[in-house]
Structure 1
Amino acid sequence: MTKLRISAIPDSRPVKLTIELPAEIHRDLLLYAKLVSGSAGQAVDPVPDAARLVPLMVGRFMETDRAFQKQRHSLAARAKPTGSDPGNAP
């Protein structure tokens, strides 16, 4: 049997987190959502859900954090199999 390159489908289900924000950050998040909804000139919800912005903001923050990306790639490289299994050949 041929060994497939994808051996397992990763779990991509959303994970729900409950967090508490300081009042000032919450006010700024609401303002940000309001500005986003009116800045692009696109048809969007009249009352944007600020919570929908949080995953986008966190994701963007991690994408642009060079130190995090460097360590992430370093850990991923260490976690890769060594290729000693003949079934792992490309």
Structure 2
Amino acid sequence: MAKLKLGPIADDKPVKVALELPAALHRDLTEYGRLLAEGGEPIEPAKLIVPMLERFISTDRGFAKARRSIG
């Protein structure tokens, strides 16, 4: 199993998201969802976006520092 930054995706109520993604990014998200599923049902790209953004924000040191300096 590849060491991925995301852990299991919570089975939450679906939320409709409308955005355009470059085709290459969509392919990468599709592959990431397949790898994250560990042989189970692949996780659709739309379900990966929020956890990835949350992970990105929570690990961005520059953002955390700027946030602390404002508050």
Question: TM-score range with shorter-chain normalisation?
Answer: 0.5 to 0.7
Find 2:47's aligned residue among 44, 48, 52.
Answer: 52
1:70 equivalenced with 2:53 (yes/no): no
User: TM-score, with normalisation over the residues of structure 1?
Assistant: 0.55
Q: What one-letter code is carried by the residue in structure 1 that aligns with 2:69?
A: S
Cα deviation for residue 35 of structure 1 reads 0.3
Alignment RMSD: 2.0
- Report sequence identity in percent: 42
Cα deviation for residue 53 of structure 1 reads 0.9
If asked which structure has higher relative contact order (CA below 8 Å, sep 6+), I would say 2
Name structure 2 gaps, 5 residues minimum: 1-14
1:36 equivalenced with 2:31 (yes/no): no
Q: Distance in 2 between matches of 1:33 and 1:73?
A: 33
Aligned length: 57
Name structure 1 gaps, 5 residues minimum: 1-14, 78-90
Deviating above 2 A after TM superposition, structure 1's stretches of 4 or more consecutive aligned residues are 15-18
Q: Which has the larger radius of gyration?
A: 1
User: TM-score, with normalisation over the residues of structure 2?
Assistant: 0.67
Q: Distance in 1 between matches of 2:61 and 2:51?
A: 17
